[in-house]
Amino acid sequence: MALLICENASLGYEGTPIVRDLNFTVEAGDYLCVVGENGSGKSTLMKTILGLIPPLSGAIRTGDGLQQTEIGYLPQQTPVQRDFPASVREIVRSGCQGRMGKKPFYGKEEKELAERNIARMGLEALADRCYRELSGGQQQRVLLARALCATRRMLLLDEPVAGLDPKVTAEMYRLIEELNKKDGITVIMISHDLDAALKYADKVLHIGSTVFFGTKEDYLKSKALSGLTQEVAE
Amino acid sequence: MSALWEKLIASLEFPFVQYALIVGTLVALCSSLFGVTLVLKRFSFIGDGLSHVAFGAMAIATVLKLTNEMPLVLLLTVLCAVLLLRTGQNAKIRGDAAVAMISVGALALGYLLMNIFPTSGNLSGDVCSTLFGAFSILTLSPTEVWLSVGLSLLVVGLFVFFYHKIFAVTFDESFARATGVNAAGYNLLIAVIIAVIIVLAMNLVGSLLISALVIFPALSAMRVYKSFLSVTVCAAIVSVVCAVLGMLVAIVADTPVGSTIVAVDIVAFLIFALAGKLKR
Ligand SMILES: Nc1ncnc2c1ncn2[C@@H]1O[C@H](COP(=O)(O)OP(=O)(O)O)[C@@H](O)[C@H]1O
Ligand SMILES: [Mg+2]
């Protein structure tokens, strides 16, 4: 059964749709890449999946026992936290808040989970460092470790490599691929880096003036086709 | 020098001075705890707006000639906090515009009320002490002392109990919400607590200087410390030390309590800023 089912969903803010009649499903173990131009509604889709905003019509449902609050999420970098005094460990641990419910303090289980994910992201040496003094790539790994504390099954990544240099970008893609292939975590990644999408993902969702959902192979074919028709038209 | 010392010792024997010191210390402690949240979240403008609301509420209480002004002021300020948070989430009226409307409105109406219904011959003195807290900490009634002590302890208790939730909601509200934390509930809790702190702090420093009491210790601690826990602990210590020093100086030098405390806070901030520079 699918982990995520999107049925005839229209997405947008305050009654104004940005994406219309969207249909797709995400199966366990998938690596789905969401591509489209700036402003086409990729982040809006992500917020709707997470339940931060409601769909205007239609529905996005979770399946196979996945709770909506069990989805780990890596936000698009915001400058909000730039001045925030917080250590790496404090931030990673805060990823456990959702599963803790009303419990006020971290128990042994949460602390161990946080340490495991700090190690998984190679952050042991930085655990007591201040988040705002880290490089962009290190900050992304911290937020990824936090997301891993919130989920065992599904990760949503909004432009995880934006603003990173090529070497760190490659490292980030390698980490994400490892989480998908080795740990079996389902990945939904937003990107406007089409090359990377086609290199790592096995399914593609293209939103914008044309909507496409299918396997990577089909996407390449349809792109080649539309490229051809465009050339003919010109 | 020894004359000053004797004056200090003599003053400390008065029960009302002792009460003032106890209340002042507790108020300084709880106002500093929410400093980081207030500085880094959009709550900072709510805090500023609420202090003006508290002034308006105080004017109403004065005009009504209430013996205990605090309960009414507390009620009105908490109500406004809830109201402001609601309108802040409404995209149609921008949050800060709503705050500006309510806070300036409260300030104007408060002053107007005090003018139309003067309760003493010294109007500008009354207004001034409400704005700058002149000596009101020394004139608290026993009920107000106990109310202040109780509320301060409640605020500290709530902060400790919800510490991790407050961190999560302050650092990244969307992430907290997406993973199932009741962020709206905690935002409401924070807004109500901030309203309580503002009413408490009004006795100590007056409504215009409240933001200084809340924000300066946090800003000082953030110069030197880098984790949320160390900043919080440091801000609490700085705030208490500055408040006690400020109150003692005010007693000895006959200066207004509120502005003396804020002056000490500013000195502390400069020291921490320097220490932060040297550390690097
Ligand atoms: N909170 C919001 N309220 C109203 N409109 C918004 C909001 N956030 C984004 N938008 C609009 O929605 C459109 C899609 O934005 P977004 O989903 O962020 O695009 P993408 O992530 O694909 O670049 C943009 O035109 C943007 O202006
Ligand atoms: Mg986006």
Q: Which two tokens stand for residue A192?
A: 């406007």
On chain B, the residues whose CB falls within 8 A of the CB of A77 are none
d(CA A216, CA A163): 25
The answer to whether residues B49 and B84 touch, using CB atoms and an 8 Å cutoff, is yes
The percent of residues in chain B predicted with pLDDT above 70, rounded, is 87
The pLDDT value recorded for residue B108 is 85
Q: Do B167 and A83 touch (CB under 8 A)?
A: no
Mean pLDDT is lowest, of A39-43, A101-105, B90-94, for B90-94
Higher pLDDT, B78 or B118: B78
User: What are the percentages of helix, strand and coil residues in chain A, rounded to 5?
Assistant: 45, 25, 30
Mean pLDDT value of segment A166-180: 92
Helices (H), chain A: 42-49, 88-94, 97-100, 108-120, 136-150, 166-181, 194-200, 216-233
Q: Do A94 and B36 touch (CB under 8 A)?
A: no
The pLDDT value recorded for residue A233 is 43
Mean pLDDT value of segment B223-247: 94
Dihedral class, residue A51 (left if φ above 0, else alpha if ψ from -120 to 50, else beta): left
d(CA A35, CA A210): 11
| pLDDT tens digit sequence for B4-53 | 888 888 888 888 888 888 988 999 999 999 888 888 776 666 777 888 88
The pLDDT value recorded for residue B111 is 81
The pLDDT value recorded for residue A12 is 92
- CA torsion, points B52, B53, B59, B65, in degrees to nearest 10? -140
Q: Which of residues 81-110 of B touch A (CB under 8 A)?
A: 91
Residue B58, strand partner residues = none
Task: Write the residue in B36, B40, B179 that is nearest to A97 by C-beta.
Answer: B179
Confidence of residue A234 (pLDDT cuts 50, 70, 90): very low
Q: Which amino acid is present at B64?
A: L
Q: Which two tokens stand for residue A161?
A: 């490599």
Whether the pLDDT of residue B97 is over 80: the answer is no
Pairing outcome for strands A154-158 and A186-190: parallel
With both helix axes pointing from N to C terminus, report the angle between B43-63 and B183-205 in degrees, rounded to the nearest 10.
50
A contact set with B (CB within 8 A) = 14, 47, 50-52, 67-69, 71-73, 75, 80-81, 83-87, 90-91, 93-95, 97-99, 101, 104-106, 128-130, 132-133, 146, 150
Confidence of residue A209 (pLDDT cuts 50, 70, 90): confident
**CA-closest candidate to residue B263, choices B205, B195, B219:** B205
Closest B-chain CA to A151: B179
Task: Work out the number of other CB atoms within 10 angstroms of the CB of residue A59.
Answer: 12
Closest A-chain CA to B40: A84
Residues in chain A, overall count: 234
Residue A22, strand partner residues = A9
B222 CB near a chain A CB, below 8 Å? yes
On chain A, the residues whose CB falls within 8 A of the CB of B221 are 85
Take atom 4 of ligand 1 and give the residue whose Cα is closest.
Answer: A13
The alpha-carbon gap from A158 to the nearest alpha carbon of chain B, in Å, equals 12
The chain-wide mean pLDDT, for chain A, equals: 88
**CA-closest candidate to residue B47, choices B94, B90, B85:** B85
Q: Which amino acid is present at A23?
A: N
Whether the pLDDT of residue A231 is over 50: the answer is no
Strands of A4-13's sheet, edge to edge? A16-26, A4-13, A57-62
| pLDDT tens digit sequence for A70-127 | 889 998 876 656 778 999 999 999 999 988 888 899 999 999 999 999 999 999 999 9
B120 CB near a chain A CB, below 8 Å? no
Probe ligand 1: pick from A16, A18, A38, max atoms within 8 Å of CB? A18
Which ligand is nearest to the Cα of residue A37, counting in written order? Answer: 1
User: What are the percentages of helix, strand and coil residues in chain B, rounded to 5?
Assistant: 85, 0, 15
The chain-wide mean pLDDT, for chain B, equals: 84
The alpha-carbon gap from A20 to the nearest alpha carbon of chain B, in Å, equals 23
The answer to whether residues B200 and B261 touch, using CB atoms and an 8 Å cutoff, is no
Mean pLDDT value of segment B179-199: 89
Q: Give one DSSP letter per residue of B78-93, joined into a string.
A: HHHHHHHHHHHH-SSS
Residue for token pair 């002004």 = B69
Domains of chain B: 2-274 (1.10.3470.10)
Whether the pLDDT of residue B95 is over 80: the answer is no
Q: Do B179 and A73 touch (CB under 8 A)?
A: yes
The pLDDT value recorded for residue A130 is 93
**CA-closest candidate to residue B78, choices B204, B158, B197:** B197
Q: Do B176 and A98 touch (CB under 8 A)?
A: yes
Whether the pLDDT of residue A144 is over 70: the answer is yes
Take atom 18 of ligand 1 and give the residue whose Cα is closest.
Answer: A43
Whether the pLDDT of residue A21 is over 70: the answer is yes
Pairing outcome for strands A16-26 and A31-35: unpaired
Does the model's pTM come out above 0.90? Answer: no
The pLDDT value recorded for residue A110 is 94
The SS3 of residue A123 is: coil
- CA torsion, points B24, B27, B30, B33, in degrees to nearest 10? -70
The answer to whether residues B209 and B132 touch, using CB atoms and an 8 Å cutoff, is yes
Pairing outcome for strands A203-206 and A31-35: parallel
The alpha-carbon gap from B169 to the nearest alpha carbon of chain A, in Å, equals 9
Helices (H), B34-94: 35-40, 43-63, 70-89
